Amino acid sequence: MTQQIDQVELKRGLRDVYFETTESSNVIGDVGRLIYRGYDIHDLAEHSSFEETVFLMVQGHLPTRSELDLFETSLREARAIRPEIVDVIRSVKDAHPMDVLRTGISALAAFDPDTEEVSHEATLRKGIRITAQVPTIVAAHHRIRNGLDPLPPDPSLDHAGNFLYMLLGEKPDEDTTRLMGKDLIVHLDHGSNASSFAARVAASTLADLHGAIVAGIATLKGPLHGGAAEGVMKMALEIGDVANVEAYLDAKHEKHERIMGFGHAVYRAEDPRARHLREGSRLLAEKQGQPKWFQILSKVEEEMRPFAERGICVNVDFWSGSVYYLLGIPEDLFISIFAVARVPGYVAQVLEQQDNNMLIRPQLQYVGPTDMTYVPIGERG
Ligand code: CMC
């Protein structure tokens, strides 16, 4: 990865470059561990709620009961979006859901009383509002593009349950709500992932939180980052039957094509987030009497086992796609669910960046020509 060119040490892709310290999350790639503010992701996925984990990430400690009550209330009270935002969503309804979300967050900035304010308190206030409103934008867009009116948020439901309700029009049962909550917890933050880095770069210029989140969302959309879950489910549908798995993978390997849902820039062991969604997918498939997708994906996982020797193991997106699919969520919304979870992660990292800011400004080594002679346009051949 490191190349010496004319005395300059190039670190392409900034791999293995540490640019800042953090107390938010730690990805321990060789053993497959993920820690949020000192707590193991497995403990949080099993025992915490999304709201409590968001509090932990943006405030730095687990809340007391009264702190959590207050925090949950502020999230619930901020869920509704203004009619002007709904109008913006309507006017771009045919775009990809992530482009609509990016546009929606830009539009939120136009109405937020704190948009230009970059103090810690203002960023936290905005962060709570944006975290609460991202699910509303995603759900409103999905209903509008299907010719339906957006559903108002239901304050009796938690963050995950209300999101599913606004999106699908039915109140989810307790197990489904819990599974979606877990999914959101494990996707919340992930060290210097590409989109959180993009959000930090924007924040390091003292740009505001809405701008930083728009940069994050734009970066998350790429298939090498947030887009892989969609690719995994496309692959499962293309395979169609467990008997076709081997032939499908052989053909992919022959063409040197990547298998979506495997490999990671940091993990060389199994991504710890995958475990919770594998189990969720299995239970959901069983409950719905639809074992086929779980069986196909389990077979893909088994056939890909030799790749683990090269550090190419299953990642979070391998199982999340099947969970969303079984919940009846269309594939082009999979990345938006990632965004619902990751936005408070951006807030936590932007707060850290702002609290101890330094402009992020690396170098590019120029390797182009240096002595070209400018020829006026009329004289060029
Ligand atoms: N299938 C087959 N081969 C792979 C895969 C894969 N999924 N991933 C990496 N490789 C191979 C790659 O072809 C290369 O082989 P060679 O050295 O022979 O050319 C080698 O592994 C190293 O690849 P790389 O791109 O240099 O490694 P990376 O660490 O930069 O890759 C990655 C990280 C996520 C971009 C890559 O593994 C990938 O494209 N995976 C598929 C997309 C995916 O599932 N993305 C979701 C990541 S998890 C969600 C998140 O946290 O954002």
**Domain boundaries of the chain, sorted by first residue:** 24-223+332-355, 228-326
Query: pLDDT tens for residues 350-369?
Result: 999 999 999 999 999 999 99
pLDDT category, 6, cuts 50, 70, 90? Answer: low
Which residues carry out catalysis?
Answer: 264, 317
Whether 263 is in the pocket of ligand 1, judged by its Cβ within 6 Å, is yes
Q: Is 28 exposed, middle or buried (0-12, 13-18, 19+ CB in 10 A)?
A: middle
Q: Is the CB of 193 under 6 A from ligand 1?
A: yes
Its pTM stands at 0.93
> What does the pLDDT average to over 236-262?
95
The closest alpha carbon to 86, from 42, 24, 29, 151, belongs to: 151
Report CA(304)–ligand 1 centroid distance (Å): 13
CA of 260 to the centre of ligand 1 (A): 8
Q: What is the DSSP letter of 314?
A: B
Distance CA 343, CA 198 (A): 12
The total of other beta-carbon atoms located within 10 Å of residue 347's CB is 26
- Look at ligand 1, atom 44, and give the residue with the nearest C-alpha: 261
Which CATH number is 24-223+332-355 given? 1.10.580.10
Instruction: Return the sign of the alpha-carbon dihedral for residues 167, 128, 266, 359.
Output: positive
Could you report the per-residue pLDDT of 29-53, keeping only the tens digit for each?
Answer: 999 999 999 999 999 999 999 999 9
> Could you tell me which of 206, 208, 197 has the C-alpha nearest to residue 359?
206
Residue 3 has pLDDT above 80, yes or no: no
Residues paired with residue 26 on neighbouring β-strands, in sequence order: 35
Report which protein residue has its CA nearest ligand 1's atom 32: 264
Helices and strands (H, E) in the chain, number of each type = 16, 5
Architecture of domain 228-326: Orthogonal Bundle (1.10)
Cβ of 242 closer than 6 Å to ligand 1, yes or no, is no
Considering only CA atoms, which residue is closest to atom 17 of ligand 1?
310
Cα 253 to ligand 1 centre (Å)? 13
Of the residues 264, 266, 309, 318, which should be mutated to test ligand 1's pocket, given the most ligand atoms within 8 Å of the CB?
264
| pLDDT one-digit tens code per residue, 62-108 | 999 999 999 999 999 999 999 999 999 999 999 999 999 999 999 99
Q: Which of 92, 98, 26 is nearest to 349 (CA)?
A: 26
Q: Which atom of ligand 1 is nearest to the CA of 316?
A: 48
Residue 224 binned pLDDT confidence (cut-offs 50, 70, 90): confident
What is the number of the ligand 1 atom nearest to the C-alpha of 258?
A: 1
